[in-house]
C-alpha cells in the first residue's frame, strides 16, 4: 500500500525523535526518555513501515536489526591499509620514541631539535580493549562496516554493526568519510552473557575484547543486537573534504558528525605531561565499564604526522603506551620442545592451568636455552607469568625460595624431537622481550646475543607441516577449511609433500579420509581452487621466507620497480625468471628491508627446490596478481605534492595514483618541504598556506604536462 502525506510526515517525525533519544542514550549517556517511551515510538514506526513499505529507508532506526542471517562473511579490501601500533612499556621507551621522531623531524624540516620539540603537541587517547571496526559513509549514509582482518582485507560486518546503537546510520552532515574506531562490550553485559552461556553449557568469554569480537562475528545480526555492544570512534582514514589540522580537532569533528567519542582524551605539551596522564589512569581504568590496556599517544599536528609517515608496519607518529600486564604464579609441570616452520626448536613450559588477564593459561614460551639459563628455570619450579602486551604468556621470574629439591634441570635435545635429525646452534642478536618497568633491573633493554637451535633436516615433518600451515593461513593463501589437523592428515597419508601439492588435490583423494565426506571434500577442493588467484604481498608472505613478514611483502611490491628498476614483473612466470637475479644489495635498496631480510630473499629465490616449487604452483594454475600501484619510472622521485580543490579532468584519487606511480609522494598538508600544490576549483586553506610559504602552485593542466 502506498503511503499518504500524513503517514509520511508522521514516520519522518518518529524517525527524528527516536534517533534523538538514541543519540542521548547511547552517545551522550544522558537518556531523556524511558525505555518504554522509546519502545512505544519504535513499535509505531515499524507499524507504519509495514503498512506502507515505500516509507522504509536505509537509515531508519527500524533497520538496525533487519538483516537476515548470513551464510558466511564477505571479504572486503580496505581503501587504506589498517596499521598496527608499536608498543612502549615504560617511560624510557616513550622517551626513545620521541627522540627518534625529533631526529627525523629535524632532518626533514631543517630545524634544530629544540625548535621542533617546542612545537610538538601530543593527543593522548584511552586505548579501548575492543574490536577494531572501519566504517564507510557515502553522502552521510553508512554503506559498509568491516573488521581489520590482516590490515589489507577484512570482513564485511555491516548488518552486525548496524545493531550498535551508538553508531549513526546517517551522519549530521552528508560527508564522504571512512572512520575507524572500536566496538566494545560493557563489563556488566559481559557478566550477564557469561551467566547465560554457562547455563547453556557454553564456555564463558575470557574478556570483553573476545566477547565483542565474538558478537560482531555472529552470522545472525539479531544475536549481535542482543549483546548490546557500544563503540568509540577515534580516527578518519578518508575524507571528501579538507582534513582537520590536528588530532584533537579530528575527534571534535567526529563528535559533531554524531559519533560517540571517548571524552577522556587530553592534549599534552611534552612527554612528562603524557606520563602524568598515563599514571592517572592506572587505577581509574579498573572502574570503567570498558576494558583499557593503555594510552595511545599521537603527535597532534597532522602536518608533522605526514612528515614522519610510516614504517613497514606502523605509523611513526603514534605509539601504544601499555599498562603493566597482570601477573600470577603457577608451577612448571614440564618443558617440551616445539619445532617451527624455520626449523627453530622452541622450549615451551607446560604449566599448572592458571587464569591471567581474563583467560586460562596452560603453556608459556621460554624462547630459547639462554632464556632458561637466565631465569635459572627447572621443571617443578614455581614461576611468575604474565601476558606480554596482554597477549602472549611468558615466564618472567622463578620463585627459588619455594623449591623443594625435587626440581629437574632441562637441557636442549641434541637431536630433533620430531625427526631425529641433527640440531645446530646459531648465535642471534636479540633485544629483551620484557621492559625494565615490568621486570625491574634484572633485564637490560640493550640488545644481547643468544643461541638458537635449529633442526638441520629440511624434510622434517614438523617443518613441512608448519610451513604448509603458514602457507594456507589467512595472511597467505587463506584456504578455508584447511586447518592444522587436516594439513597433518594430508601429510601423514602422503597426499601432499609440499605446499604446491595442495593445488592438485581432487575430491576423490579426500573422500576416503577420516573426517571427510562428499560435501566436505568438494568444499575444500572448491576453496583451494578459489585461492589460486592471489595478490603478490599475500603470495610472498605465504612462501614463509625467513625474516619476510606481511609488512616486508607490502614494501617489496610498493617499491620493487623504484628500488630495483624492474618493470617487467607482471605474473608468476616473471617472478620465476627475474627474482633469482636480484642480489641482496638490490633488495636492500628498498627502504625498510634490512640485511637479514635481503639475504633471506636472495637465498630463497636462488634455491633450485624453491624455484621448482613455484613452477609446480604455476603449472597447477596459481595466478599471482601484481597490484595496480607500482612505480613506473623515476620521473617524480623524491618530489612532494599536495592536492586542494576540485579537479575537472580527473578525480583527486586518480591524480594521487598517477603521481605515486611516477615515484612522487602525496601529502595531506602543506609544509616547507612540499614541492608543488595542485590547485583545483574552490581550493581550501592549503592554497593560502602554499602562498604564505612560497611553495610552487600549479593547476591541473600543468600537472598533466608533468605526468605525461
Which residues are annotated as catalytic?
Answer: 127
All three cell numbers of 674: 612540499
Strand partners, 385: 328, 395
What is the C-alpha separation between 84 and 66, in angstroms, rounded?
33
Residues 490, 479 contacting (CB under 8 angstroms)? no
What is the C-alpha separation between 207 and 187, in angstroms, rounded?
9
Positive or negative torsion for Cα 210, 212, 214, 216: negative
Segment holding 536, helix H or strand E: helix 536-542
What is the C-alpha separation between 109 and 44, in angstroms, rounded?
61
Exposure letters 16-53 (e unless 16+ CB within 10 A, then b): ebbbebbbebbbeeeeebeeeebeebbeebbebbeebe
What is the C-alpha separation between 623 and 620, in angstroms, rounded?
9
What is the C-alpha separation between 548 and 593, in angstroms, rounded?
9
Q: Give start and end residues of each alpha helix (H) in 457-517.
A: 461-471, 484-492, 507-510
What is the C-alpha separation between 20 and 430, in angstroms, rounded?
55
HSE (side-chain half, CA atoms, 13 Å) at 589: 15
CA distances 121 to 46, 261, 301, Å, are: 49, 20, 7
Residue 401, classed as helix, strand or coil, is helix
Q: Give start and end residues of each alpha helix (H) in 376-505.
A: 436-439, 461-471, 484-492
Closest of 289, 366, 279, 358 to residue 323, by C-alpha:
279
Specify the DSSP class assigned to residue 301: B
Residues 6 or more apart whose Cβ sits within 8 Å of residue 577: none
Residues 160, 224 contacting (CB under 8 angstroms)? yes
Amino acid at each position: 500500500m502506498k503511503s499518504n502525506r500524513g503517514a509520511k510526515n508522521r514516520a519522518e517525525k518518529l524517525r527524528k525523535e527516536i534517533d534523538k533519544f538514541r543519540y542521548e542514550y547511547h552517545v551522550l549517556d544522558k537518556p531523556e526518555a524511558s525505555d518504554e517511551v522509546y519502545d512505544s515510538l519504535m513499535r509505531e514506526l515499524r507499524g507504519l513501515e509495514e503498512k506502507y513499505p515505500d516509507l522504509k529507508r536505509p537509515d531508519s532506526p527500524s533497520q538496525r536489526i533487519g538483516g537476515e542471517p548470513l551464510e558466511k562473511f564477505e571479504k572486503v579490501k580496505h581503501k587504506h591499509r589498517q596499521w598496527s601500533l608499536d608498543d612502549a612499556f615504560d617511560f624510557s621507551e616513550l622517551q626513545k620514541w620521541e627522540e627518534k621522531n625529533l631526529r627525523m623531524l629535524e632532518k626533514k624540516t631543517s630545524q634544530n631539535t629544540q625548535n621542533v620539540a617546542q612545537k610538538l603537541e601530543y593527543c593522548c587517547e584511552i586505548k579501548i580493549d575492543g574490536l577494531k571496526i572501519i566504517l564507510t559513509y557515502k553522502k552521510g549514509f553508512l554503506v559498509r562496516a568491516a573488521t581489520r582482518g590482516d590490515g589489507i582485507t577484512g570482513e564485511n560486518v555491516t548488518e552486525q554493526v548496524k545493531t550498535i546503537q551508538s553508531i549513526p546510520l546517517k551522519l549530521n552532515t552528508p560527508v564522504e568519510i571512512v572512520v575507524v574506531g572500536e566496538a566494545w562490550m560493557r563489563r556488566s553485559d559481559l557478566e550477564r552473557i557469561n551467566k547465560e552461556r554457562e547455563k547453556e553449557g557454553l564456555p564463558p568469554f575470557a574478556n570483553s575484547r573476545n566477547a565483542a569480537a565474538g558478537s560482531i562475528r555472529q552470522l545472525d545480526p539479531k544475536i549481535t543486537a542482543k549483546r548490546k555492544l557500544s563503540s568509540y570512534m577515534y580516527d578518519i582514514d578518508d575524507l571528501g573534504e579538507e582534513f582537520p589540522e590536528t588530532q584533537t580537532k579530528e575527534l571534535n569533528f567526529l563528535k559533531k558528525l554524531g559519533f560517540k567519542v571517548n571524552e577522556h582524551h587530553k592534549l599534552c605539551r611534552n612527554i612528562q605531561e603524557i606520563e602524568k596522564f598515563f599514571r592517572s589512569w592506572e587505577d581509574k581504568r579498573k572502574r570503567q565499564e570498558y576494558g583499557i590496556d593503555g594510552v595511545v599517544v599521537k603527535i597532534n599536528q597532522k602536518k608533522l604526522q605526514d612528515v614522519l609517515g610510516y614504517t613497514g608496519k606502523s605509523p611513526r607518529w603514534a605509539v601504544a603506551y601499555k599498562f603493566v600486564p597482570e601477573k600470577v604464579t603457577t608451577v612448571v609441570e614440564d618443558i617440551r620442545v616445539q619445532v617451527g616452520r624455520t626449523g627453530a626448536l622452541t622450549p615451551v613450559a607446560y604449566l599448572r592451568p592458571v587464569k591471567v588477564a581474563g583467560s586460562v593459561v596452560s603453556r608459556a614460551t621460554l624462547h630459547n636455552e639462554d632464556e632458561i639459563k637466565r631465569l635459572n628455570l627447572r621443571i617443578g619450579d614455581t614461576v611468575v607469568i604474565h601476558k606480554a602486551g596482554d597477549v602472549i604468556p611468558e615466564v618472567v621470574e622463578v620463585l627459588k625460595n619455594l623449591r623443594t629439591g625435587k626440581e629437574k634441570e632441562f637441557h636442549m635435545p641434541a637431536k630433533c624431537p620430531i625427526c631425529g635429525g641433527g640440531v645446530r646452534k646459531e648465535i642471534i642478536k636479540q633485544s629483551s622481550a620484557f621492559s625494565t618497568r615490568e621486570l625491574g633491573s634484572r633485564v637490560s633493554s640493550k640488545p644481547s646475543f643468544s643461541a638458537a637451535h635449529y633442526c638441520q633436516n629440511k624434510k622434517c615433518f614438523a617443518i613441512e607441516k608448519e610451513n604448509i600451515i603458514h602457507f594456507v593461513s589467512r595472511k597467505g593463501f587463506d584456504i578455508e577449511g584447511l586447518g592444522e589437523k587436516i594439513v597433518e592428515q594430508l601429510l601423514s597419508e602422503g597426499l601432499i609433500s609440499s605446499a604446491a601439492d595442495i593445488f592438485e588435490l581432487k575430491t576423490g583423494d579426500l573422500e576416503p579420509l577420516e573426517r571427510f565426506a562428499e560435501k566436505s571434500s568438494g568444499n575444500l577442493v572448491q576453496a583451494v581452487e578459489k585461492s589460486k588467484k592471489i595478490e603478490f604481498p599475500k603470495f610472498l608472505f605465504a612462501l614463509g621466507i625467513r625474516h619476510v613478514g606481511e609488512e616486508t611483502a607490502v614494501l617489496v611490491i610498493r617499491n620493487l620497480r623504484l628500488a630495483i628498476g624492474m618493470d617487467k614483473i607482471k605474473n608468476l612466470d616473471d617472478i620465476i625468471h627475474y627474482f633469482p637475479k636480484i642480489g641482496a644489495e638490490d633488495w636492500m635498496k628498498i627502504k625498510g628491508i634490512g640485511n637479514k631480510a635481503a639475504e633471506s630473499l636472495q637465498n630463497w629465490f636462488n634455491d633450485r627446490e624453491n624455484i621448482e616449487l613455484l613452477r609446480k604452483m604455476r603449472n597447477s594454475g596459481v595466478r599471482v596478481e601484481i597490484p595496480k600501484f607500482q612505480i613506473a619510472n623515476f620521473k617524480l622521485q623524491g618530489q612532494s605534492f599536495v592536492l586542494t580543490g576540485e579537479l575537472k579532468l580527473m578525480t583527486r584519487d586518480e591524480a594521487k595514483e598517477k603521481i605515486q606511480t611516477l615515484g612522487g609522494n602525496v601529502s595531506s598538508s602543506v609544509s616547507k618541504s612540499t614541492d608543488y600544490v595542485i590547485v583545483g576549483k574552490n581550493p581550501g586553506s592549503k592554497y593560502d598556506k602554499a602562498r604564505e610559504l612560497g611553495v610552487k602552485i600549479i593547476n591541473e593542466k600543468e600537472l598533466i604536462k608533468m605526468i605525461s
